Amino acid sequence: MPVVQKTAKKTKEVVSYYNPKVWKEKGLKWTLGLFSITAIIAVFVLMFIWSSEPAEFDVLENTYEITGTEQGQKLVNGAVTTATLSRLITTLLDKPGGFIENDKMPPGVLMDDIPNWEFGVLTQIRDFALSMRDDLSRSQSQSIENKNLVQAQIKFNIDSESWMLPAAESSYRKADQKVKDYLDELQKGQAQFFARADNLRTLLNKMQKRLGSLSQNLSASVGQIRVNTDLAGDSAATKSTQTADQSLVKTDWFKIDDVFYEARGQAWAILHILKAVEIDFQSVLQKKNALTSLRQIIRELKSTQEAVWSPVILNGSGFGFVTNHSLVMASYISRANAALIDLKNLLQDG
């Protein structure tokens, strides 16, 4: 009996081996497995490609390209600043992977560093568009707003995570077209751009507040005891809610890289805006002897864009063995912010 059973078992195995149904099932499993592995590899490759931050661009060459003006030809006042705003938008939308922050599918939904970089750039675009609408395109508070800039500024403020009805990308693309329409009006003499010291100070004031906040958030990566200075400098000042005289501020460990890349995005955008300001506000800056201060800010902001060689954002202690990327970034941004305050003072008193 044992010999008969073994023979029958072998016969059954041979029959199963040559059974087309069995091979079809095995082939389906192998196909699904191979497809899954290929899909996972493709997602990781795309994540790697999409994680690269856009390089710096030449604001003057960009203006010649957008306006269709020949190299060396005189540009209308405000053209470089406006063209730079347009380029910031198109870079956000047309970089590898496009606009990722509102993605609902892999690999975009799995990424967080570049989406935070995008949000940093978008924050500066929104501030800059508001300055263009309220100050740079108007002679005084009673003057009429430019309709194209009004519509552009409104469209920039759609939720960056909106993915349909409407998608954020489509709204930002329409806003970019309105910025280009304003630039076209400038070239035709149908709109105004006022390069004045008070207008520039208003723009710099927005940047100063952003940089100050970024510096504090970056420094909080290791935790800090902060003294409450909310009412400092005004003995009659009051506030709605009482707070402690001192508080411990520390960025959550899971948010450290988010804060870092948002700061890096804002610094990248401010860097290009100030390069454009150097050209369009040159006469004002020269009169106030402020060009050197502006260039110092640009130099500090360039340092924030150096390559990050570590695969992760490290959070070592202040003088510890392991570096702290957030504190290094905070140092550059704090120095840029200090120079920004000096520049504002020069524009007012110089």
Q: Report d(CA 330, CA 176) in Å as an integer.
A: 31
In a domain, 159, yes or no: yes
CB distance 217 to 263 below 8 Å: yes
End-to-end CA distance of the chain: 110
In a domain, 317, yes or no: yes
Domain co-membership, 99 together with 171? yes
Domain co-membership, 209 together with 305? yes
Determine the longest span between alpha carbons in the chain, in angstroms: 110
In a domain, 241, yes or no: no
In a domain, 323, yes or no: yes
47's tokens: 């994540």
In a domain, 236, yes or no: no
Q: Which residue matches tokens 């002679």? A: 139
Q: Report d(CA 158, CA 296) in Å as an integer.
A: 34
In a domain, 50, yes or no: no
Q: In terms of residues, how long is the chain? A: 350
Domain co-membership, 207 together with 129? no
Domain co-membership, 151 together with 287? no
Q: What is the pLDDT, as a whole number, of residue 251?
A: 73
β partners of residue 281: none
Using one digit for the tens of pLDDT, what is the confidence trace for 180-194? Answer: 999 999 999 999 999
Domain co-membership, 162 together with 204? no
Domain co-membership, 305 together with 181? no
Domain co-membership, 253 together with 144? no
Q: What is the pLDDT, as a whole number, of residue 239?
A: 65
Task: Among 167, 192, 217, give the residue marking a domain's end.
Answer: 192
At position 251, the amino acid (one-letter code) is T
Domain co-membership, 201 together with 290? yes
Domain co-membership, 186 together with 251? no
Q: What is the pLDDT, as a whole number, of residue 51?
A: 83
The model's pTM is: 0.85
Mean pLDDT of 83-101: 94
Q: What is the pLDDT, as a whole number, of residue 45?
A: 81
Number of domains in the chain: 2
Domain co-membership, 212 together with 124? no
Counting beta carbons within 10 angstroms of the beta carbon of residue 318, is it exposed (0 to 12), middle (13 to 18) or buried (19 or more)?
exposed
**Could you tell me the residue range of the domain that residue 312 belongs to?**
195-225+246-350
Domain co-membership, 284 together with 313? yes
In a domain, 8, yes or no: no
pLDDT higher than 90, residue 274? yes
CB distance 68 to 187 below 8 Å: no
> What pLDDT band is residue 253 in, cutting at 50, 70 and 90?
confident
Using one digit for the tens of pLDDT, what is the confidence trace for 278-325? Answer: 999 999 999 999 999 999 999 999 999 998 888 888 887 766 677 888
Strands (E), the chain: 224-227, 246-249
CB distance 307 to 250 below 8 Å: no
Q: For a pLDDT cut of 70, what percent of the chain falls above it?
A: 83
Domain co-membership, 165 together with 101? yes
Mean pLDDT of 111-136: 94
